[in-house]
Structure 1
Amino acid sequence: MFFTRQIFISLSVFFSFLGASHGSSIMGEMHDSREMPEVPEVGENRDPLHPPEWLGRWHYVRYIYQGQENPNLNPNLLVTFEFKADGTDILRWYRRNEEGFCERRGEWRFDTGFFIDKVTWVNPRNASECSLDQDMHQDHVSSTPARIAREELWLYMSMGGDEFTMIWEHVKAPQNRAIPRRQVRVSRFDYAAHWSRESSLPPLPR
């Protein structure tokens, strides 16, 4: 369940949180079989596309490399991507029981099969190694082939010329269901009779 050393070297700082060495970007080298479109600025005069099935929080759970599906290399690593209807997103990761984290905010859209994301804010309290990841740089723009299948988000990337797919699981938000007001029947309780029965019981042994 381990990458080769060469794969570790080519991964991003995100995977350095897995215990790997640093690379270029959490998003890696974005590509698919189609020619990559020119990435437009997120703030242009057009409405970004924000499909409702994207909204909410996603947890990174596993990956596919060289046709083999593998679980998260480090179960203590927590990585979340949160997409909001206003076109903003939040990317965070950290490891349980260890200091340090990486966090940034961005503007996103899903357009013609590509997840387009622009970093708009980087947490100044990030761990120092976060800056080695370009996806933690202000104004960095990425374009990643993506799709949603069975309530999972698949991000398709390239690593060493091979396809590398990150798979994220949708975290269901608890539904705020209205709790019906219970009808409580108030009855008159005969405390005098109750205590008289209690007093008639034999004393407890000492």
Structure 2
Amino acid sequence: MNSLIGLWLFTSIIYHDTPAPRPNPDLMMTFKFSESESVLHYYRKNQPGFCERTATYTYDGQTLHQTITAVHEGNADFCDKDPDMQMGAVSETPVVLKDGKIHMQLKLGEEDITYIWDPYAPVR
């Protein structure tokens, strides 16, 4: 079974080995993984528009390999500036599961920043 399968919510970061809340609390971002596809969706509270894309992926326990196969036709104009919203883009991202959360290492300029994704459990 693929350990990434499910819906994940971006909740915090680790920067310079220090945990911190999301830099922008209005940014709502989810990652949904099925057996072979991932869907990244985000929007900002109190701002119109969203960005969403679908990718095929593989995960070897250390690296998430993705190829974007579709971008949502309703994406806001600002999505064009996001390299992760470009049709056909390929990425290899260091990812580990730790304490039941996804730790995704990304670049911020020349520095590393770790995005923390918690399993999404909607309030009932």
Runs (4 or more) in structure 1 with deviation over 4 Å come to none
Q: Which residue among 58, 63, 68 is the counterpart of 2:8?
A: 58
Q: Which residue among 51, 59, 81 is the counterpart of 2:31?
A: 81
More strand by share: 2
Which structure has the larger Rg? 1
Report the TM-score, using the length of structure 1 for normalisation. Answer: 0.56
Per-residue CA deviations over 1:119-157 (Å, capped at 9, x if unaligned) read 000012211111111110101010011100111000112
Report the TM-score, using the length of structure 2 for normalisation. Answer: 0.90
Q: Distance in 1 between matches of 2:17 and 2:110?
A: 13
After superposition, the CA RMSD in angstroms is 1.7
Find out whether 1:116 has 2:81 as its counterpart: no
Per-residue CA deviations over 1:99-133 (Å, capped at 9, x if unaligned) read 11001111111025110111000012211111111
Q: Which residue among 19, 29, 37 is the counterpart of 1:69?
A: 19
In structure 1, runs of 5+ residues without a counterpart are: 1-50, 175-206
Q: Distance in 2 between matches of 1:132 and 1:153?
A: 25
Q: Distance in 2 between matches of 1:157 and 1:70?
A: 15
In structure 2, runs of 5+ residues without a counterpart are: none
Equivalent position of 1:139 in the other structure: 88
**Quick one: percent identity of the two aligned structures?**
30
Q: Distance in 1 between matches of 2:59 and 2:20?
A: 26
Cα pair 2:61 2:96 within 8 Å, conserved: no
More helix by share: 1
Q: CA deviation at 1:162?
A: 2.3
Count of residues in correspondence between the two structures: 123
Three-state SS of the structure 2 residue aligned to 1:139 is coil
